[in-house]
């Protein structure tokens, strides 16, 4: 139904954004990779996947059609829902997902929270040969450590982790990697620990 939304970015969070399109504010769920590529408080365009359920209508947004295509293909795998597909695309880039599928690398897919051995094998079997890599690189945004911690904590809580658990994971990762500057990189490392 919706192909894309083009409007002013009102709020940006590692798990969602709010976009104002001609006076209507849309709450759009995003992956960490999309979060990284979006500007701050400027006009932006997100490619949309719209899910209608009996109790909800949910928008998922992607910075490009390539990531949305990977998301849609993941949804076609039995047992992979929208939340799991978003978690995959928050832990790995779209190209990393395709590379893992092409190589049959179960361990990379298992590193994603909520993906076990059987799910990883099913993803590989169902999608092998169906996806092609993109050459596009996403832009990198830098944040100060305080902002970095806050944004990462917010993203992890929205993804379903308890605040205490997320804070412990963030502290552990920042102790091991004090040079870390990107929110999505921090969240990916924390997700590997959980």
How many Å apart are CA 53 and CA 154, to the nearest integer?
A: 26
* Residue written as token pair 């990531």: 67
Co-location of 149 and 173 in the same domain: yes
Domain of residue 176, CATH code:
1.10.8
Domain of residue 17, CATH code:
2.40.50.140
Do the domain assignments include residue 137?
Answer: no
How many Å apart are CA 154 and CA 170, to the nearest integer?
A: 11
Co-location of 45 and 75 in the same domain: no
Q: Domain range for residue 181?
A: 145-193
How many Å apart are CA 52 and CA 109, to the nearest integer?
A: 27
Co-location of 50 and 10 in the same domain: yes
- Among 62, 86, 108, residue at a domain's last position: 62
Contacts 24+ apart (CB under 8 A), 65-70: 66/94, 66/134, 66/136, 67/31, 67/33, 67/34, 67/94, 69/131, 70/94, 70/97, 70/98, 70/131
pTM for this prediction? 0.68
Please state the domain count of the chain: 3
Task: Please list the pLDDT of the chain residue by residue as tens digits (194 residues).
Answer: 789 999 999 999 999 999 999 999 999 999 999 998 888 778 899 999 999 989 999 999 999 989 999 999 999 998 899 999 999 999 999 989 999 998 899 999 999 988 999 999 999 988 887 776 654 332 222 333 457 787 888 888 878 888 888 888 888 888 888 777 788 888 888 888 87
35 near 184, Cβ under 8 Å?
Answer: yes
- For 52-88, b/e burial (b = at least 16 CB within 10 A) is eeeeeeebbbbbbebbbbbbebbeebeebebebbbbb
Q: Are strands 24-30 and 16-21 parallel, antiparallel or unpaired?
A: antiparallel
């Amino acid at each position: 139904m919706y192909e894309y939304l083009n409007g002013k970015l009102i709020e940006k969070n590692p798990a969602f954004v709010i976009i104002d399109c001609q006076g209507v504010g849309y709450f759009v769920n995003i992956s960490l990779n999309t979060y990284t590529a979006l500007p701050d408080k400027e006009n932006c365009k997100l490619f949309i996947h719209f899910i209608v359920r009996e109790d909800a209508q949910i928008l998922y947004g992607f910075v490009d059609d390539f990531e949305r295509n990977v998301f849609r293909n993941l949804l076609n795998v039995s047992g992979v829902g929208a939340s799991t597909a978003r978690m995959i695309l928050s832990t790995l880039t779209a190209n990393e997902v395709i590379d893992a599928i092409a190589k049959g690398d179960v361990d990379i897919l298992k590193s994603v929270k909520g993906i076990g051995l059987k799910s990883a094998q099913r993803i590989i079997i169902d999608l092998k040969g169906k996806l092609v890599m993109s050459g596009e690189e996403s832009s990198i945004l830098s944040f100060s450590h305080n902002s970095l911690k806050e944004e990462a904590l917010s993203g992890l809580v929205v993804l379903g982790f308890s605040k205490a658990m997320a804070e412990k994971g963030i502290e552990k990762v920042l102790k091991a990697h004090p040079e870390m500057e990107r929110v999505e990189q921090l969240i990916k490392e924390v997700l590997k620990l959980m």
